[in-house]
A and B are shown apart, each in its own frame.
Chain A
Amino acid sequence: MPDYPQIVFAGTDGGAVTDIDDYVGAGGFSALPKARAMAPDDVIAELDASGLRGRGGAFFPTGRKWSFVPKPEALAKPHYLVVNADESEPGSFKDREIMLRVPFRFLEGCLIAAHGIQSQHVFIYIRGEYEREFEVLRDALEAMRARDLLGGVTVVIHRGAGAYICGEETALLESLEGKRGQPRTKPPFPAIAGLYAAPTAVNNVESITTVTPVLEMGGAEYAKLGVESSSGTRVFSLSGDVVNPGNYELPHGISMRELVYDIGGGIANGRELKAIIPGGSSTSVLTADDIDVKMDFTSLVEAGSSIGSAGVIVIDDRCCMVQLGIRVSQFYEHESCGKCTPCRVGTKWVTQILQKIEDGRAGQADLDLLLSVCDRILGKCLCPLGDSDAIAVLSYVDKFRDEYQTHIDLGRCPFDGASSLEGILAPSELHEHHGHEHEAIRA
């Protein structure tokens, strides 16, 4: 494998830099004073020049997002930087490794970003399941405090408590305010009325970590990496039926073939590639025929999918695509916040119809019904979670129509109990037990 430039993971040599002296010794915390000596608008201009776009899934230009945050002169309210470390998209596990291996680069990026939007307050919302990651950040922050690096900025690490929807930025803000994590209607956008109804920039961990090297090397230099529509590097999370799963920082525009075969070592156990989910479970599936697609924003849109959170799930020929649909739909059904009906009811319905197909109880009309239910979810929900279920399932049916048809024609699953996802359980009812112990409070 060629030596690809390491930007996010620079200087780690495959390990972690958790000692502040090591980070400083390798040139760390040089971008921060440089940024602080610049006018905030010049920091934003540097980000614009870099072409950096959000790594959380929506790929929105980071500099542009910051420029939407009103100047303190224009809106005399506190300004907030909120970092999204809720990483819960199935297939995505990059932010975790970034926080573990380059915590100081990440925190330095937080402070630079805060300067860019003229904020004195940073909140890092980290998913509750990331215990060790929380501890590493807490310790790193303490070390920075001891060296007086915060410059009067308060940084609070706020722990989530298990809810995928809190990765959606407005649900995250609700949650951070001490409410149930349910999305808000937009507009107003967080830039204008975000946390505590004040101007807020919400950014992903990888985006923020990349801010540090952008300031170090300069935006124009960063923009030379990657391809035109998608500058820079990306930490791809590779998982599933592949020989070498893991996180790989690679330039945008690398082909899926290089990622899966050259870097990932190919399909495990000499099996055949069947399907690839390129950007986390919310993105449309691709097939073996798409193996030469380039991993950048534009190329994946052209291929009918999306780069999403760059969580690449490789699936070999042992997997039943109806079972895949069930498992993915169960996830969205479980994580639906229940605020809007097409999502709350639709995701459940999609799972049920898929289960019927898998069990061999479905007729032709059920397949039509499945498509129609997906259609009645698409574009009719308050946030993208409901759509994600419909988009994923529709893509499975579209790309593997014959397999769905075979289930109906045979009246059973053609895998005969040998699918690699056979019997996979949805999360147990453990969490749904909100029963009798609390009647006294409810009454």
Chain B
Amino acid sequence: MSVAVEIQKLRTRYPDPLSAVMPALQLAQAENGGWLSPDAIREVAAALDLTPAYCLSIASFYDQYYLEPVGRRRIEVCTNVSCGLAGAQQVVEAFERELGISAGSTSEDGAFTLGTIECLGGCGWATIVAVDNRHRLRVKADDVPGIVEELRGA
């Protein structure tokens, strides 16, 4: 099914089709390799009878819409207080070492994007690392080389 057709289906879930803008952006992003290009935004706008500028104003408000290309795997380390107390900083540094990039950037081969992120709602299982939005619990710096190896192999 094309994105445009799927978006039409989303519209019917809500009393007001404007409500479909978030799931539509999410869908378009997933179809576009994980980020919202200007074309992807235009497609959402066209499907919902909105302007691209409106859709961009929504996309730029929320952290989980990416407006620049991201790596094929997205790694985000929670660095809020409880994860911080459990050693999140060391986890971030271990990823930086293993991936050869600093937090907030994408590797040159486009394989990985590394980021830090606010509380992921898993403080009791710190440190939380989200890999493509799937949470790994109780990650220690020592676990990082294994995780990166696994992701490179996958």
Assess whether A438 is in contact with B81, with CB atoms less than 8 Å apart: no
Q: How close is B131's CB to chain A, nearest CB, in angstroms?
A: 11
Assess whether A128 is in contact with B80, with CB atoms less than 8 Å apart: no
Q: Given A240-B81, A425-B116, do A433 and B133 touch, yes or no (CB 8 Å)?
A: no
Contact with A along B6-46 (1 / 0, CB 8 A): 00000001111011111101100000000001100110000
Determine whether A87 belongs to the interface, using a CB cutoff of 8 Å to chain B.
yes
Determine whether A331 belongs to the interface, using a CB cutoff of 8 Å to chain B.
yes
Q: Given A177-B16, A442-B56, do A420 and B84 touch, yes or no (CB 8 Å)?
A: yes
B25 contacts across to A, CB distance below 8 A: 161
Contact with A along B121-147 (1 / 0, CB 8 A): 111111000100111000000000000
CB contact list, A230-279 vs B, under 8 A: 237-241, 245-247, 277
Contact with B along A368-388 (1 / 0, CB 8 A): 000000000000000000000
A97 to B55, CA, bound (A): 33
- In the complex formed, the residue of A with least CB distance to B113 is A430
A176 to B20, CA, bound (A): 9
Assess whether B81 is in contact with A433, with CB atoms less than 8 Å apart: no
Q: How close is B80's CB to chain A, nearest CB, in angstroms?
A: 5
Q: How close is B38's CB to chain A, nearest CB, in angstroms?
A: 5
Which of these, B52, B58, B61, B120, contacts A129 with CB under 8 Å?
B120
A161 to B61, CA, bound (A): 9
Determine whether B89 belongs to the interface, using a CB cutoff of 8 Å to chain A.
yes
Q: Given A424-B84, A438-B67, do A131 and B118 touch, yes or no (CB 8 Å)?
A: no
Assess whether A427 is in contact with B41, with CB atoms less than 8 Å apart: no
CB contact list, B77-121 vs A, under 8 A: 79-82, 84-85, 88-89, 92, 103-105, 113-121
Q: How many pairs, one residue from A and one from B, have CB atoms within 8 Å of each other in the complex?
A: 196
Which of these, A95, A237, A337, A438, contacts B38 with CB under 8 Å?
A438
- In the complex formed, the residue of A with least CB distance to B124 is A245
Q: Given A160-B62, A180-B57, do A331 and B80 touch, yes or no (CB 8 Å)?
A: yes
Determine whether A50 belongs to the interface, using a CB cutoff of 8 Å to chain B.
no
Assess whether B26 is in contact with A161, with CB atoms less than 8 Å apart: yes
B133 contacts across to A, CB distance below 8 A: 128-129, 131
Assess whether B116 is in contact with A178, with CB atoms less than 8 Å apart: no
A311 to B122, CA, bound (A): 11
Assess whether B121 is in contact with A93, with CB atoms less than 8 Å apart: yes
Which of these, A92, A160, A178, A440, contacts B123 with CB under 8 Å?
A92
B125 contacts across to A, CB distance below 8 A: 93, 245-246
A366 to B82, CA, bound (A): 28
Assess whether A319 is in contact with B16, with CB atoms less than 8 Å apart: no
Determine whether A191 belongs to the interface, using a CB cutoff of 8 Å to chain B.
no
Q: How close is B79's CB to chain A, nearest CB, in angstroms?
A: 5
Determine whether A186 belongs to the interface, using a CB cutoff of 8 Å to chain B.
no
A92 contacts across to B, CB distance below 8 A: 121, 123
Q: How close is B2's CB to chain A, nearest CB, in angstroms?
A: 21
Assess whether A425 is in contact with B103, with CB atoms less than 8 Å apart: yes
A238 to B81, CA, bound (A): 13
Assess whether A96 is in contact with B16, with CB atoms less than 8 Å apart: no
Assess whether A159 is in contact with B22, with CB atoms less than 8 Å apart: yes
Q: How close is A402's CB to chain B, nearest CB, in angstroms?
A: 21
Which of these, A132, A238, A241, contacts B124 with CB under 8 Å?
A238
Determine whether B149 belongs to the interface, using a CB cutoff of 8 Å to chain A.
no
B85 contacts across to A, CB distance below 8 A: 240-241, 313, 315, 319, 420-421
Assess whether B68 is in contact with A437, with CB atoms less than 8 Å apart: yes
Q: Can you list 15 A-B contacts (CB < 8 A)?
A: A90-B82, A92-B121, A128-B64, A129-B120, A132-B134, A160-B22, A177-B19, A178-B16, A327-B81, A328-B81, A425-B92, A427-B79, A427-B118, A428-B115, A440-B38
Residues of B at the A interface (CB closer than 8 Å) are: 13-16, 18-23, 25-26, 37-38, 41-42, 52-53, 56-58, 60-68, 79-82, 84-85, 88-89, 92, 103-105, 113-126, 130, 133-135
Identify 17 new A-B residue pairs, CB closer than 8 A, beyond the known A334-B118, A428-B115: A90-B81, A93-B124, A96-B122, A159-B26, A162-B63, A164-B118, A178-B20, A245-B82, A245-B125, A420-B84, A421-B81, A423-B89, A424-B89, A425-B116, A427-B115, A428-B103, A442-B53
